[in-house]
A = this chain, B = another copy of it.
Amino acid sequence: MPEAVTTMKAIIQRVTKASVTVGEEQVSSIGRGLCVLLGISVEDTHRDAEYIVRKILNLRLFEDENGRAWSKSVMDKEFEVLCVSQFTLQCILKGNKPDFHAAMPAELAEPFYNSILENMRSTHKPELIKDGKFGAYMQVNIQNDGPVTIELTSPTGPTDPKQLSKQEKQQQRKEKTRTKGPSESSREKGGQRSRQDPNASSGAEGDVSSERES
């Protein structure tokens, strides 16, 4: 099987309202803002998370007061964000059957996902960031306004000049993994990467993601 370059993926829907129900219980709801479905891959680090959070909160998906489209962000408008973990976005098709081995395993993804929520809360306003219920079977009711839907991936796409260097880093990590216990290496990966990358705090580049056919 060829080496896949995996990235964090977010499907961002501009909403009039959105809510999450588990069983009979509504666990959260928002009014105007963004509903984000977030898929974390096995390769993702805090750098990917920081990129995605910054983009979600700063993307200009709303009108300004004069009705000019694509002018204001969810932070500018003080609108809400409903963020729901969605491992199925890390799907690789085997023919018509989805395979989710590229998704970060739940026991690692849950604390990582919670750190992403914390990042959003501290960047925006804590009370404007809502959550689903990690790992639960949910009904997510999304009133997509427009519709306006944006797909974001962390910056390792096909047209991104950093792709090669990310692939190289993955290779390096892989080599490290071979000489260490798997739990230690996976724990270390985020910190290692952000230390060695001088661009970690620089701006942003969006890209297009791609998928594999069987």
Contact = CB atoms under 8 A, between A and B. Distances in A.
Nearest to A39: B149
| Copies of this polypeptide in the complex | 2
Given A142-B144, A143-B140, A213-B160, A7 B55 contact: no
Contacts of A5: 158-159, 208
A37 B5 CA distance: 25
B59 A150 contact: no
A45 interface: no
Contact of A95 (B96, B152, B203, B211): B203
Interface stretch (A82-90, A103-111, A122-130, A173-181): A82-90
6 contacts: A5-B158, A11-B11, A91-B151, A140-B144, A151-B211, A156-B210
